[in-house]
Chain A
Amino acid sequence: MSDQNNNKAEWPLWEVFIRSKAGLDHKHVGSLHAADAEMAIENARDVYTRRMEGVSIWVIESKYIHASDPDNAASLYEPANDKIYRHPTFYDLPDELKHM
C-alpha cells in the first residue's frame, strides 16, 4: 500500500502494552497514532484503559518491532520439536513415589 513517507503529516504508529494489575506481564492490546511517546501513553490511557484495565502502560513505535517470519515457523521451532524429555511426563517413575 502507500508509503509512510507519502503521508508526511501522519503521526507515527505505536504498539501498546498494558499491565492489567501488579504481578502480571504487560500484554499487547493494540496500536494507536501519536506524535511522540508521551502523547502515545496519554492516548493509550484514553483508548485502552477507560475501565481501569491497566496499572502500567508501555508504548513502542511499531517500526522498532522485529518479528519472526510465520513461513519459517517449522524450521524455527524445529529444535524444540523432538525433545520430549524436556517435559516431566517423559519420565516413568513408580506410583508410590510422592512429592515429586
Chain B
Amino acid sequence: MTVRDFQEAFDEKIDKEIAIEPRDWMPDNYRKTLIRQISQHAHSEIVGMLPEGNWITRAPSLRRKAVLLAKVQDEAGHGLYLYSAAETLGITRDEMVEQLHSGKAKYSSIFNYPTTTWADIGAIGWLVDGAAIMNQVALCRTSYGPYARAMVRICKEESFHQRQGYEILLHMSKGTEIQRKMVQDAIDRWWWPSLMMFGPTDDDSPNTAQSMRWRVKRFTNDELRQRFIDVTVEQCKILGMELPDPELKWNEERGHFDYGPIDWEEFWNVVNGNGPCNRERLKARNDAWEKGAWVRDAALAYSEKRKKRAKEADTKAA
C-alpha cells in the first residue's frame, strides 16, 4: 500500500466512526496532535492536585478530609490513565515528565490560581471539575481508542468530584453571614477562569477545524463553554449566590444565556507563565521529582537484586 492508500483507509475509518488503535497507520500530525493534547491533559490532572492538596490538612472535618483525599487521589489516577494512553503513541513517560518540568508542555491554566479559603475547594469541585466534565464527556467519543477509553473511566469518577464541591458550597451557603461571603467570594474568583478552561474562542482557535475533522474534538470550545454556562446558571440559583457577570441574561431567541466578554489578555498571561502560581506549581512538581529520584533508583536496584538472587537459586537447584 502507498501512503495515499493508508491515508484513504484512515479517513474512511474516521468517517465510519471506527476507532483508531495504537498499531494502526495514522498521519504524523494526528499522532503529534494527540500526543500534545493527551499529555497536556495528563499534566493538568497531576498539577491539578496541588491547589486542592493545599487544603487536605486543613479540611474542616474528618468527612471532608476523607472526601478531599479520595478526590485528589482520583486526579492522580486520571493523570496515570492519560499518560499511559499517550505512551501508546510512542512517547515515553520520562519524555512527558521532562516536558512538563522544563515548562515546554502546558497544562490547564486554571491550576495557576491560588486556593485561599476552604470555599475555594467547593468552587473548584463545582466549577472547575464541572467545566472539565463538560469537556471530558465529549471526549468519550474521541477517535483514538486508548484516549476514549481513558475518558470513559475518568468520567465515571468525575461526577462525585463535582457533587462533593457543590455540597461544600451548599452547606456553607446555609451557614453564617461570613460563610456566605466566603462562598460568593470564591465564585467571584473562579467563575471567569473556569470559562477560560474551554480555551480561546472558535475564531481564535486555528486547530479546531482539523481536530473536528479527525474527530479528536467533537464540539468546539465555544459550544462547550455555552453548554457549561447554561447548566451552571441554574445550579447557582439553588445556592442563592450570584455569578459575577452583569451581562449574563437568558436569550429567548438563541435558547442560551448571553454572557459578557472574557478577559483573554488574562488568559494568555497565565498560559505564558505569569499567573499567580505558575512558578510555585512548577517548582512543586520539580521538587517532588528530584526528591523522589532516590526512591525510583532504589526500587530498580532492589528488583535487579531480587532477579539475580532468583537466578542464582535456580542454577543451584538445577
Contact = CB atoms under 8 A, between A and B. Distances in A.
Interface of A: 1-2, 4, 7, 9-11, 13, 29-33, 35-36, 39, 46-48, 50-51, 67, 69-71
A9 B300 contact: yes
Contact of B77 (A1, A11, A50, A67): A50
A43 to B, nearest CB: 8
Interface size class of B (residues with CB under 8 A): 35 or more
Contact of B1 (A35, A39, A46, A71): A71
A1 B31 CA distance: 12
Contacts of A70: 21, 23-25
A13 B87 contact: yes
A10 B299 CA distance: 11
A39 B302 CA distance: 11
Interface of B: 1, 21, 23-25, 70, 73-74, 77, 80-81, 84-85, 87-88, 90-95, 146, 149-150, 153, 157, 293, 296-297, 299-300, 302-303, 306-307
Nearest to B85: A30
Contact of A67 (B23, B81, B87, B299): B23
A10 B306 contact: no
Nearest to B20: A70
B92 A4 contact: yes
B250 to A, nearest CB: 38
Name the 7 nearest CB pairs between A and B, nearest first.
Answer: A35-B299, A36-B303, A31-B84, A35-B303, A7-B94, A1-B90, A10-B94
Contacts of A39: 299, 303
Given A11-B299, A13-B87, A30-B81, A2 B74 contact: no
A70 to B, nearest CB: 5
A9 B77 contact: no
